[in-house]
Amino acid sequence: MKRIGVFTSGGDAPGMNACIRAVVRTALYHGIEVYGIMRGYSGMIKGEIVRLDTTSVANIVQRGGTILKSARSQKFMTKEGRQQAFDQLVNHKIEGLVAIGGNGTFTGAMKFEEEFGIPTVGAPGTIDNDLYGTDYTIGYDTAVNTALDAIDKIRDTADSHDRAFFVEVMGRDSGYIAIPCAIGGGAEIVLVPEQQQSIDTVIETLQTARKRQKSSFLIIVAEGDEEGNATIVANKVKEAIPEMDARVTVIGHIQRGGAPSAADRLLASQIGIAAVEGLVNGMRNVMAGIVDRKLVYTPFHDTIYKKKLINQGFMRMVEILSV
Ligand code: F6P
């Protein structure tokens, strides 16, 4: 393999830059040319492809966001879009790809490989940590720390005013951010998409805590919880406990930005090296990940369709520690 492309796709995540840097430098180390594809599949279709050298990735290991930019491309979901992307890769003589992203990114890569045979190795880059085949995804650790920092501040004001705060954290299909935030932030309740918990249980838990003279409360809601987002949950609770002074905070995209933590820089660098070396060794349609501290390559099919389960022990911890 003489020339590869690298791109970031889907929601950005802190550490993506560290991963790009590792991909570029590992490729150069192995004598392979590297091209950066801007704006994910969207830039691949349009031919927004630029040569990267070692200085292109200098001074980015510590920066949030992604120098290659990111996008969610509707056009790549069509055969016509994928054909255009393939033509662009052929024009640029790109023989293999490193795709940094999440579920949607790998679904696209799998389809692309099926149709056009371009080998791709994936790097798990998403704050959601919802990918099977790696204990942690790039950006997750930073996002949890960012959310937790905000939650600590909310706790201060909640305590001063004897209020309940319903705090929404990211995670469309996953409670991976919500759970450590609940444990680390001392929340009374956590609501996650992976586990059904009725509003009645939430109300009962809050009523019991109020009887014990607790005066401030934190309820962490993952945005994809089936009872609804934090605003919906808060409204339902306020109907049942009108005397409770409640507020809602949506932490939002702050969770996606900022300098990556040490853990994310390390993970991103490890995975970036592994992705290129996987390609060099003839791998395709797999994601590089770390499971039990060991490097593993998991087929895209499994990363997409196998469900990474939440840790039930952690859910129990929230219950015990909020007594
Ligand atoms: O996949 C990462 C993520 O941040 C999810 O947690 C969230 O639901 C989604 O992206 C938001 O996407 P967008 O920035 O496109 O609104």
pTM of the predicted model as reported, rounded to 2 decimal places: 0.97
Distance (Å) from CA 287 to ligand 1 centroid: 20
Exposure of 123 in the CB half-sphere (CA atoms within 13 A):
36
Structural contact between residues 57 and 24, judged by C-beta atoms closer than 8 angstroms: yes
Q: What is the DSSP string of 7-63?
A: EE-SS--TTHHHHHHHHHHHHHHTT-EEEEETTHHHHHHHT-EEEE-GGGGTT-TT-
Residues annotated within the binding site for ATP are 11, 72-73, 102-105
Beta-strand pair 189-191/217-222: parallel
Does the beta carbon of 307 sit less than 6 angstroms from any atom of ligand 1?
no
User: Is 302 marked active-site?
Assistant: no
Classify residue 12 as exposed, middle or buried by CB count within 10 Å of its CB (0-12, 13-18, 19+): buried
Distance CA 156, CA 239 (A): 25
Q: Which two tokens stand for residue 208?
A: 């019991």
pLDDT at 168 exceeding the cut of 90: yes
Amino acid present at 47: G
Distance CA 93, CA 265 (A): 30
Distance (Å) from CA 42 to ligand 1 centroid: 17
pLDDT at 103 exceeding the cut of 90: yes
What's the average model confidence in pLDDT over 104-128? 97
**What whole-number percentage of the chain has pLDDT above 90?**
97
Structural contact between residues 139 and 16, judged by C-beta atoms closer than 8 angstroms: yes
What's the average model confidence in pLDDT over 12-40? 98
Q: Which two tokens stand for residue 39?
A: 């704006």
Residues annotated within the binding site are 11, 21-25, 72-73, 102-105, 126-128, 155, 163, 170-172, 186-188, 212, 214-216, 223, 247, 253-256
Amino acid present at 126: T
pLDDT at 169 exceeding the cut of 90: yes
- pLDDT at residue 180, as a whole number: 98
- pLDDT at residue 7, as a whole number: 98
- Which stretch of DSSP H or E encloses residue 209? helix 199-211
Structural contact between residues 216 and 159, judged by C-beta atoms closer than 8 angstroms: yes
What's the average model confidence in pLDDT over 72-85? 97
What's the average model confidence in pLDDT over 112-136? 97
- pLDDT at residue 58, as a whole number: 98
pLDDT at 8 exceeding the cut of 90: yes
- pLDDT at residue 323, as a whole number: 83
Distance (Å) from CA 146 to ligand 1 centroid: 15
- Residue 248 has φ and ψ, to the nearest 5°, of -120, 135
Average pLDDT, the chain: 97
Pick the catalytic residue: 53, 87, 128, 292? 128
pLDDT at 11 exceeding the cut of 90: yes
Distance of CA 100 to the CA centre of its chain: 11
- SS3 of residue 167 by DSSP: strand
Complete domains list, the chain, with CATH: 3-139+260-305 (3.40.50.450), 142-256 (3.40.50.460)
Distance (Å) from CA 256 to ligand 1 centroid: 8
